[in-house]
Structure 1
Amino acid sequence: MSTIVNDIEVIKANHTKIHDIDFNNLKFGHVFSDHMLECDYKDGKWHTPKVVPYAPISLDPSAKIFHYGQSIFEGMKAYKDEDDNILLFRPLDNFKRLNISAKRLAIPELPEAFFMDGLKTLLKVDSDWIPKKEGSSLYIRPFIFATGKGFHASPADEYKFIISTAPSGAYFAGKVKVLIEEKYSRSANGGVGFAKAGGNYAGQFYPTQLAVKKGYQQVIWTDDNTHEYIEEAGAMNIFVRINDTLITGPTSDRILDGITRKSIIELAKTEGIPVEVRKITVSEVVEAAKNGTLKEMFGAGTAAVISPIAGFGYKNEDFDLPELENTFASSLKKRITDIQTNKAEDPFGWRYKV
């Protein structure tokens, strides 16, 4: 059970930047709100968080984040409904996953009250930064990194937890073409693929750049051992629709337990869509594309919610997906976003009012 943190200090910014922002033309993650939450781990414990003006951070050159990569993060969104209520989507799942990542990277786990009460305090202070335009939201980035000093290869003794926010428009525009990866891997058994570790994403950039040079926007990651199984789409979980069955890979050491992924699975079941959580072979997807039974592929994640895939490349051959009028991707995305923004009933208890 979470205890309540009543003494979160709020240090207000002297000036607001909000009047300089065009909320009708927001890029994703480029504009930052006035304040951030900050919390330090020192002397063997997490100290009470405080809300401070958004500002650069000063670190010692020997801070272990620079040398040994102890860094984890989460991605969340806040919305406002027509009555200006501030709404979150499954925030406790984000908190729990942050601590799962922390444990794997030998970072001290964060108290639930520090996360939840700190987040709620920050959102109330910067509530005017939550956009109400359709498709927009306040993107929330909680993260923890090692600030302890030293070049010796060991876990740090000091850490910093920050939540910063960015009013943002849509993450992706339109459908994307992807390349099924045959050489590089996102993660491996026994590794940290299931954690939201910063290094996981750093390792993705180079293979993605190679795919972009070939005319694709993203990479479909395959397993590290045989490259026979489809696992993730870029930085997102992946879903494949063959005929009218929706298929996604099981979570593992290599695959992130996505909150949007879990929501899609539950929503699809309530809508009577057959769902299979199992390994998906590349050959199965290629064969389905050739015989016309491959109807849809899409990525699922917090930022884009659902990102449709227009086609994929594999072994120097391109495959286009059919243009359908009523897709699982569009209907499931609408169901999720309607719940998130309080435009529909929430029978699952996912919506969280601040």
Structure 2
Amino acid sequence: MSYSISIERTSALKQKPDFSQLGFGKYFTDHMFIVEYDDGEGWHDARIVPYQPISLDPAAKVFHYGQTVFEGMKAYKDAEGKVALFRPFKNLQRLNRSNDRLSIPAIDEGLALEALKQLVTIDESWIPTEEGTSLYIRPFVISTQAALGVSPSEKYLFMIIMSPVGAYYREGINPVSIYVEPQYVRAVPGGVGNAKTGGNYASGLKAQEEASDKGYSQVLWLDGVHRKYIEEVGSMNVFFKLADKVVTPALSGSILDGVTRDSVIQLLKYWNIEVEERAISIDELVEAYRNGTLEEAFGTGTAAVISPVGELNWQGERLILNGGQTGPLAAKLYGFVTGVQRGAVEDPFGWLLKL
């Protein structure tokens, strides 16, 4: 199917930053994609335009009721300069699952993918090639109807912006320290924990701030009902190597169905490593640490890819994993996934979409 997307190129290209000193999400490319929605008309006026501010009415529903969703994906260049996207179909499918949960009209995934491909092609020169860098892609939907009644919006904007990025955590592939949150909760089954919506992240900021004050990079959430079952890290799904198997929390309705999580599960099975998706309590994890069977922990996500965990703090007890060093499994996973993304390792799963 062909899609009509108008293109307006910028007349004033931005000066690019030093790609070896990017940080995360600080710089933005020259162009962005916009498509509008109105009840009765559907999605219309798809266009790529120069990156610019947008104007919204102060009564726009996104400001008052948080009806918004987003995604995160990346583009890479291989050694020959060819561009590829990592599993964009999975992200767009998840975007529509989030849309459904937030009562937002579904996006035409074919249109979104075509817009993404055209946008990346236009701003291809913004894709960094330094070690650990990539072009981060942020599709998102906001509700724009100017009305204060509590009901789904009748108007929306779907946009895609892009940012050249380095490592999400300042530690890079070096282990991060995690504070197991004993007080606050992130989500419960039946809520919006499995949707990628802004409120999930806003509700975690207080706990993240307090963990940071204690010297920890991230928060590990426990379930909101029993307050003992592990769910996910603030920006990542989480895995634990217990002796000869790997365990990760099952998708219970309050955990994000991560694309990198799914990729890692596929890869572990491909390597004939046993994987269990199940409930795992903090008590089980502490006991495994004390008896020596908790060998590694690592987070997975688009932003960080694979992030080893060097320390967990639970009720003041510091659980130092693998001597505070990156474990061999986390290192192997990171090397393989990033190798596939950059075209340096054979892709046995068909994960890459080459442009």
TM over 0.5: yes
Matches within 5 A, 1:266-305: 266-305=266-305
Aligned to 2:126: 129
Aligned to 2:35: 39
Aligned to 1:139: 136
1:249 and 2:249 aligned: yes
Residue 184 to residue 335, structure 1, CA distance change in 2 (3 Å): same
Aligned to 2:81: 84
Aligned to 1:4: 2
1:296 alignment partner, SS class: strand
- Paired amino acid for 1:4: S
Aligned to 1:239: 239
1:229 and 2:229 aligned: yes
1:120 and 2:117 aligned: yes
Q: Distance in 1 between matches of 2:236 and 2:74?
A: 16
Q: Distance in 2 between matches of 1:128 and 1:171?
A: 21
1:280 alignment partner, SS class: coil
1:177 and 2:177 aligned: yes
Aligned to 1:158: 155
- Paired amino acid for 1:165: M
Residue 325 to residue 191, structure 1, CA distance change in 2 (3 Å): closer
- Paired amino acid for 1:96: Q
Residue 79 to residue 32, structure 1, CA distance change in 2 (3 Å): same
Q: Distance in 2 between matches of 1:177 and 1:21?
A: 29
Q: Distance in 1 between matches of 2:93 and 2:294?
A: 35
2:98 alignment partner, SS class: helix
- Paired amino acid for 1:186: R
- Paired amino acid for 1:347: P
Q: Gaps spanning 5+ residues in structure 2: where?
A: none
Q: Distance in 2 between matches of 1:151 and 1:255?
A: 30
Q: Distance in 2 between matches of 1:25 and 1:186?
A: 32
2:206 alignment partner, SS class: helix
Kept after mapping to 1: 8 A contact 2:175/2:326: no
Q: Distance in 2 between matches of 1:136 and 1:217?
A: 20
Aligned to 2:193: 193
Q: Distance in 2 between matches of 1:160 and 1:73?
A: 12
2:322 alignment partner, SS class: coil
Aligned to 1:16: 13
Aligned to 1:346: 347
Q: Distance in 2 between matches of 1:38 and 1:95?
A: 16
Matches within 5 A, 1:327-342: 327-342=328-343
Q: Distance in 2 between matches of 1:133 and 1:71?
A: 33
**Deviation (angstroms), 1:215:** 2.3
Q: Gaps spanning 5+ residues in structure 1: where?
A: none
**Deviation (angstroms), 1:334:** 0.9
Q: Distance in 1 between matches of 2:326 and 2:203?
A: 37
2:284 alignment partner, SS class: helix
Q: Distance in 2 between matches of 1:316 and 1:25?
A: 35
2:141 alignment partner, SS class: strand
- Paired amino acid for 2:249: G
TM-score by length of 2: 0.96
Kept after mapping to 1: 8 A contact 2:16/2:126: no
Q: Distance in 2 between matches of 1:326 and 1:24?
A: 26
Superposition RMSD in Å: 1.2
